[in-house]
Amino acid sequence: MINKCLFPVAGYGTRFLPATKSMPKEMLPILDKPLVQYGVEEAAEAGLHDIGFVTGRGKRAIEDHFDVSYELEHQIAGTGKEKSLEGIRALINACTFSYTRQINMRGLGDAILKGEAVVGDEPFAVVLADDLCIGEERGVLAQMVGLYNQYRCSIVAIEAVPEDQTSSYGVIDGEKISDSLVRVTNMVEKPAPEDAPTNLAIIGRYILTPDIFDILRNTEPGKNGEIQLTDALMHQANSGCVMAYKFAGRRFDCGSVAGYVEATNYFYENVFDEHP
Ligand code: UTP
């Protein structure tokens, strides 16, 4: 059983400066809800109610979001505005929240290693909240938990991206198991298009088995001097098994301004239920 979901949220969000100078990028709203709340809702829907955050300096707004706000709630008690907080209240009641800090931002792999303190020795999910996903029928994490129960190995979500965009992603190659599943045999971090083995890019949803922590501890800094999760996953793929899953649904890269605007428009047209 997977119960835990880790949210590495310590990154600087440089693609969204100056908005992210003092505000966590994960608190950017799509319509009236911050990105991180969409991510926690997706985790809860998948049955993962123990939520862990790897935070960093300047990220306290995330902790405050998943807590009560007494003054505000007292102020709006008994008014129609209370309704706006129903969703977040239900989420707070359904989940537990733990926090640990990454002191030096040495990359996603390092952030996940810091998460060992809240995850312990069990399989867990990882959500990069700036990748906003809408699943078909059920959420992307719920789809992946189902697969984990079948294969019992680490699973990465993948998406076919335009070939000129491979340098923004970890890219996989492997043995096709079905239309939606590939057993990974190769993984390259942010390859130039001419070096990319495929156009199948890893997006911000993972299920990881806990041996990843020991591997990360022994992983040398890779591309950009950061501890790369991709390097550790490649180790797992070589010594055991990593599956790559073409999820059913749609993803928006809300860490970029263009993806953020696209998500905002999509949600306003298709998801928002309070058009004026
Ligand atoms: P990104 O590659 O999106 O980096 O990190 P970033 O710093 O958040 O954003 P840009 O590229 O500068 O605009 C992927 C995920 O890994 C987390 C980020 O918070 C994000 O969720 N991360 C990255 C950490 O937690 N720690 C790190 O040292 C690096």
The CB of 28 under 6 Å from ligand 1? The reply is: no
How close is the Cα of 10 to the center of ligand 1, in Å?
Answer: 7
Closest atom of ligand 1 relative to the 129 alpha carbon: 21
Which pLDDT score is estimated for 215?
97
Instruction: State the amino acid at position 257 in one-letter form.
Output: V
Q: Which residues contact 210 (CB under 8 A, 6 or more apart)?
A: 119, 120, 121, 122, 123, 124
Mean pLDDT within 104-126: 96
User: Is any ligand 1 atom within 6 A of the Cβ of residue 170?
Assistant: no
Whether ligand 1 lies within 6 angstroms of the CB of 101 is answered as no
Centroid of ligand 1 to alpha carbon of 80 (angstroms): 37
Please check the confidence at residue 275 and state whether its pLDDT lies above 60: no
Q: 242 pLDDT exceeds 90?
A: yes
Q: Tell me, using a 6 A CB cutoff, whether residue 102 lines ligand 1.
A: yes
Measured from the CA of 226, which atom of ligand 1 is nearest?
28
Pair 46, 95: CB distance under 8 Å? no
pTM to 2 decimal places: 0.95
Q: Is 111 in the pocket of ligand 1 (CB under 6 A)?
A: yes
Answer yes or no: is the C-beta of 14 below 6 A from any ligand 1 atom.
yes
Segment 100-111 mean pLDDT: 95
CA of 230 to the centre of ligand 1 (A): 14
Question: What is the average per-residue pLDDT within 258-273?
Answer: 91
- Position in ligand 1 atom list of the atom nearest CA 17: 13
Structure confidence at residue 194 (pLDDT): 95
Asked if pLDDT for residue 95 goes beyond 90, the answer is yes
Q: What is the pLDDT of residue 82?
A: 87
Q: What pLDDT sits at residue 172?
A: 97
Q: Does ligand 1 come within 6 angstroms of the Cβ of 9? A: yes
**In the numeric block, which tokens belong to residue 42?**
């997706």
Q: Which atom of ligand 1 is nearest to the CA of 128?
A: 21
Say what the pLDDT of residue 234 is: 96
pLDDT of 83 > 60? The answer is yes
Is cis: bond before 18, omega within 30 of 0? yes
Q: Is the CB of 24 under 6 A from ligand 1?
A: no
Dihedral class, residue 231 (left if φ above 0, else alpha if ψ from -120 to 50, else beta):
alpha
Short-list 28, 24, 29, 27, CA closest to 10: 24
Is the pLDDT assigned to residue 276 strictly greater than 70? Answer: no
Mutate to test the pocket of ligand 1, among 26, 28, 108 (most ligand atoms within 8 A of CB): 108
Task: Give distance in angstroms: CA of 105 to centre of ligand 1.
Answer: 8
* Structure confidence at residue 58 (pLDDT): 86
Beta bridge partners of 244: 156, 182
Tokens linked to 247: 């999820």
Residue 31 confidence (pLDDT) above 70: yes
State the average pLDDT over residues 151-180. Answer: 96
Rounded to an integer, what distance in angstroms lies between the CA atom of residue 93 and that of residue 116?
Answer: 24
Report all structural domains of the chain as residue ranges with CATH numbers, in order of start: 4-270 (3.90.550.10)
Residue-wise pLDDT tens digits, 216-228? 999 999 878 899 9
Q: Is residue 204 packed enough to be buried (19+ CB in 10 Å), middle (13-18) or exposed (0-12)?
A: buried
